[in-house]
Amino acid sequence: MKSKTEEILSNSKNILIGSEAIRNRIRELAQTISQDYCGKIPVFIGVLNGSFLFFADLIRELTIDCEVDFVKISSYGNSTKSSGKIKILKGLDCDIRGRDVIVVEDIIDSGLSVNFLRKWIGEHKPGSLRFVSLLIKEGAAEVSYECEYVGFRIPNKFVVGYGLDYAQLYRNLPGIYIMNSVPEHSEKKER
């Protein structure tokens, strides 16, 4: 019997962004960030769990010095739509006061998480604060938000792979895939 991973991999019409396109775009993003932060030592804050692969690949393409930290937030209840109620499951370990901070997200959907993080991290008084997201869903914003660095703008569909999950599965897929049948009510979803 095929695993769910094999099922998605074997259906080529599910693929939205392949691993090589991801690698190339990340290299470009890392070059831009390295130029913009030349001579500085920013702290990259990964938003767990979804950003872990993007985070790891992005920082390995940087030519500047950097530090890393991680936060974990959750807002999805029993649904694929954000509940809007965001909880901090893991806070910061390092002191970011006065530091240049870049928050690394996997995907921006409603925009609620980014706005929540901008406010919450901003309260720790960083010297500067920017966001980089691998993906932005076009036409999905429920609130206006800012994201300084964007990998790809994608259609408003539920996607999995390259760190992104559906009910905790599919994070291991090497590319980004469209999930065609997503039941309205799923397992509790964490970022």
Task: Provide the annotated active-site residues.
Answer: 109
Residues 94-113 contacting ligand IMP, CB under 6 A? 105-113
- The count of residues in the chain is 191
Token readout for 61 is: 């393409």
Give CA–CA dist 92/111, Å, rounded: 21
Which region, judged by CB under 6 A, interacts with ligand IMP, from 6-14, 29-37, 64-72, 156-164?
156-164
46 binds ligand IMP (CB under 6 A): no
Helix axes 52-60 and 19-36, enclosed angle (nearest 10): 60
Q: What share of the chain is helix, strand, coil (3-state, %, to 5)?
A: 25, 30, 45
Select from Mg ion, ligand IMP, none the partner in contact with residue 111, using the beta carbon and a kind-dependent cut-off of 5 to 8 Å: ligand IMP
User: Mask 6-45, x = binds ligand IMP (CB under 6 A)?
Assistant: ----------------------------------------
Question: Exactly one of 50, 126, 151, 161 binds Mg ion (CB under 5 A); which one?
Answer: 50
In the complex with Mg ion, the residue whose CB is nearer, 50 or 126, is 50
We find the least distance from the C-beta atom of residue 80 to Mg ion, in angstroms, to be 13
User: Could you count the other beta carbons within 10 Å of the beta carbon of residue 129?
Assistant: 20
Residues 104-123 contacting Mg ion, CB under 5 A? 106
Token readout for 164 is: 């992104």
Classify each residue of 37-68 as buried b or exposed e, where b means 16 or more C-beta atoms within 10 Å of its C-beta. Answer: beeeebbbbbbbbbbbbbbebbbeebebebee
Select from Mg ion, ligand IMP, none the partner in contact with residue 134, using the beta carbon and a kind-dependent cut-off of 5 to 8 Å: none
In the complex with ligand IMP, the residue whose CB is nearer, 102 or 107, is 107
